[in-house]
Copies of this chain bind each other. A is one copy, B any other.
Amino acid sequence: MAKPLILINLKTYKEGMGSRAHAIATAAQLVASESGVTVGIAPSYIDLHPLAKHFMVPVYAQHVDGAAPGAHTGQITAEALRVAGASGSLVNHSERRLTLADIEASVRALQAQKLGSVVCTNNDITSAAAAALAPEYVAIEPPELIGSGVSVSKANPEIIRKSVAAVHAVNTSVKVLTGAGIQSGECVKIALDLGTDGVLLASSVVKAEDPKTVLRDLASKI
């Protein structure tokens, strides 16, 4: 199995902007080097270029449009992400849903720039559909766990297991992230035990007083 990934979505949280984004990236880099776990961050578009330049951790965009450069006001191209030094992008996050045609175009556009893609999904069936697009990762976010503060282990571990099976039934080389219900190292361990290759999480790191301590805990049982 590839090295597990802990991917932190900074969203547009006030606690994830500007100097705070740098502090989280610093913590991510430190914990990655201490633990050997890959810790990535997905900051706002505006912080993406400086963070990608100043840190060794993978930096993902939170969204990308599938269109080639051109007359597309207000969009983000995969080409612009590559030039900015990004490692890839989230695609179809639950807070930024896309049409199926656009998800596919975004994954293709990222691949054409040799960038990774993390396609977010809401259940095992849409996870299987996403797997057919051959992204780097599918991140399953069960709606009942999003922002709930409930651990995936307590709520509904079965949906994670079913999603992993559904993804691999379509494409065995697509990796899976547990995209909600992660608060602690124990949750991360359960996520990996359920067959996923890492976790996607947000507020528990971004809003933490000390992100380093939270990240150390998250990486502690891998």
Contacts and interface: CB of A to CB of B under 8 A. Distances in A.
Contacts of A17: 69, 79-80, 83
Contact of A62 (B61, B73, B90, B131): B73
Interface stretch (A7-15, A22-30, A148-156): A7-15
Interface string A123-144: 1011011111110000000000
A129 B104 contact: yes
Contact of A96 (B50, B74, B94, B121): B74
A140 to B, nearest CB: 12
A168 B26 CA distance: 47
Interface in A35-80: 42, 44-46, 48-50, 61-63, 65, 67, 69-77, 79-80
A50 B203 CA distance: 28
Given A95-B73, A100-B92, A126-B101, A46 B12 contact: no
Contacts of A130: 100, 129
Contacts of A134: 125
A215 interface: no
A71 B122 contact: no
B83 A71 contact: no
A73 B76 CA distance: 14
Nearest to A61: B74
Given A11-B72, A12-B72, A133-B129, A98 B96 contact: no
A170 interface: yes
Contacts of A45: 44-46, 76
A13 B70 contact: yes
Contact of A12 (B70, B97, B131, B203): B70
A31 interface: no
Contacts of A93: 73-74
3 interchain residue pairs of minimum CB distance: A63-B74, A74-B96, A45-B45
